Amino acid sequence: MRIGVFDSGLGGLTVLKSMLDLLPPADFVYLGDTARLPYGSKSAATIENYTEQNLKFLKSKNVDVMVIACNSASAYFLKTEFENTPVFTVIGPTAEAALLNTQNKKIGLLATRATVNSQAYQKKISELDSEAIVTAQASPLLVPFAEEGLIDDPLTNLISFRYVQTLLKENVECVILGCTHYPLLIHSLQKAVGDLPLIESGPALSYHMIRELNLSKSTEKKKSTVEIYTTDQLGHFQIWAEKILQPYTCDSWNLINL
């Protein structure tokens, strides 16, 4: 199976890494739209426009399935297919995983401004459980910190601590990392929330795809392949992408114009 995946930048690699860990071997095509990052501070119309262009690009690579590994883009994509190809988004599976981690149904959400304002998580969670309460905190500074590779840095610790206060005051029982860049800052975020579970989109989406597509780990020794495309220069992106995807390696690195 060929699986197309996109995000605005490095964040979606946290989802790709989970898919490489959990799905049977597949051929992955990853697009990081680095020329237009960040998405999380853009309007709904702009994000929808970028999403359509990115899906068109992935489709041109003859993929069987597409994954929007970006919460901000997922929040505004309300369909399940694009030009007859199935599209998976991260909101539903991540919301379901969060509900499994609460007893009193109090859920915290850290996400970009676009995702928080879309109300996509709030709506999905109340659809799944009308008694659940979501406290959301837009955390726009975390994406540039993740893109800069400031992982477990004193500055990241400070910002994480500041952002989670709104959630801790409401006694949430778990915190959704509602942006695929945030797992890159997991050390700082975990320190900030103490022992509360942090819910990531990568594993939630991968298990959802395994169920929906009826996939099973094959015993076949075939190895997954990974083709990477970015819309801006590769240098910094490639250095961090190689670290994030370890122990997996990529088969090709390409710069494109959408």
Structural contact between residues 90 and 71, judged by C-beta atoms closer than 8 angstroms:
yes
User: If binding is defined by CB under 6 A, does position 89 make contact with ligand DGL?
Assistant: no
Q: Which residue is nearest to ligand DGL (CB)?
A: 40
DSSP-derived 3-state class of residue 63 = coil
Asked about 70 being catalytic, the answer comes back as yes
Out of 87, 179, 241, 245, which one is annotated catalytic?
Answer: 179
Report if residue 180 touches ligand DGL, rule: CB under 6 A: yes
Determine the interface stretch with ligand DGL among 6-14, 116-124, 129-137, 223-231 (rule: CB under 6 A). Answer: 6-14
Is 250 tagged catalytic?
no
Query: Smallest distance from the beta carbon of 140 to ligand DGL, in angstroms?
Result: 8
Pick from 170, 71, 85: nearest CA to 116: 71
- Taking CB under 6 A as the criterion, the residue among 18, 34, 72, 89 binding ligand DGL is 72
Is 57 one of the binding residues for ligand DGL (CB under 6 A)?
Answer: no
With respect to ligand DGL, which residue has the nearer C-beta, 50 or 82? 50
**Does 203 interact with ligand DGL (rule: CB under 6 A)?**
no
- Measured from the CB atom, is 142 or 251 closer to ligand DGL? 142
Burial zone of 69 (CB within 10 Å; 0-12 exposed, 13-18 middle, 19+ buried)? buried
Active-site residue, from 70, 97, 143, 244: 70
Identity of residue 233: Q
Among residue numbers 104 through 143, which ones bind ligand DGL (CB under 6 A)? Answer: 112, 115, 143
CB 72 within 8 A of CB 6: no
Q: Which range, of 126-134, 157-165, 179-187, 234-242, touches ligand DGL by CB under 6 A?
A: 179-187
Given the rule CB under 6 A, which of 33-41, 48-56, 119-127, 150-158 is the region that contacts ligand DGL? Answer: 33-41
The continuous run of DSSP H or E covering 108 comes out as: strand 106-111
Among the listed residues 38, 108, 183, 203, the single contact to ligand DGL using CB under 6 A? 38
Residue 70 touching ligand DGL (CB under 6 A)? yes
Nearer to ligand DGL, 13 or 65 (CB): 13
Interface residue list for ligand DGL (CB under 6 A): 7-8, 11, 37-40, 70-72, 112, 115, 143, 179-181
Active-site annotation, residues: 70, 179
